[in-house]
Amino acid sequence: MVQLEKAVFAGGCFWCMVKPFDTQPGIHSVVSGYTGGHVENPTYRQVTSGKTGHTEAVEITFDPNQMPYEELVEIYWQQTDPTDAGGQFADRGDSYRPVIFYNSEEQRVKAEASRKRLEESGRFNTPIVTKIEKAKPFYPAEDYHQDFYKKESAHYKRYNVGSGRAGFLSKHWGNNN
């Protein structure tokens, strides 16, 4: 019997956080949604108002035997600017802040060790500011946000480039997402 686990990552607009995980082995689902706030079942409009305390995030259901949590964290770093606490790329504010939300003590330890390795790597000249926080309830976003990169591929590509994300990831991580 496969024991699936969940990982929750926030790295700016959730549209751009789905594809890098969705295409990996051992991933059962990637859901766009909201977490970290105080409003139950928030809407996109409520979250982007900045009054709910929520952050756009993705909830990944995965098989740790095929895709270890440590590898998910490494993929996460390579989708973000871990030196920018004020949002990600063109998306500014707390609802776009970079956060690793841990679901267990084991995930917390692994995420913190990974952040320490990144800090010590010298890849960035400024401090790594991505938060590592205990997971709170996760609320799936509206249907039109799910699998956006598949349903609206042209819009997704324009946004990924236009927001500055694609250029940053290419420069710092060698990504071509």
**pLDDT one-digit tens code per residue, 5-61:** 999 999 999 999 999 999 899 999 999 999 999 999 999 999 999 999 999 999 999
The continuous run of DSSP H or E covering 140 comes out as strand 138-140
Distance of CA 134 to the CA centre of its chain: 15
CA–CA distance, 143 with 145 (Å, rounded to integer): 5
Q: What is the pTM of this model?
A: 0.95
Domain boundaries, position 117: 5-170
Q: Is residue 57 domain-resident?
A: yes
Phi and psi angles of residue 81, each rounded to the nearest 5 degrees, phi first: -105, 95
Does 16 qualify as catalytic in the annotation?
A: no
Residue with the two structure tokens 């059962």: 28
The one-letter amino acid code at 90 reads A
Residue pair 139/9 in contact (Cβ under 8 Å)? The answer is no
128 located within any domain: yes
Q: Which of 7, 13, 75, 141 is catalytic?
A: 13
- List, for residues 54-86, the tens digit of each pLDDT value: 999 999 999 999 999 999 999 999 999 999 999
Look at the chain and report how many structural domains it folds into.
1
Residue 150, domain CATH: 3.30.1060.10
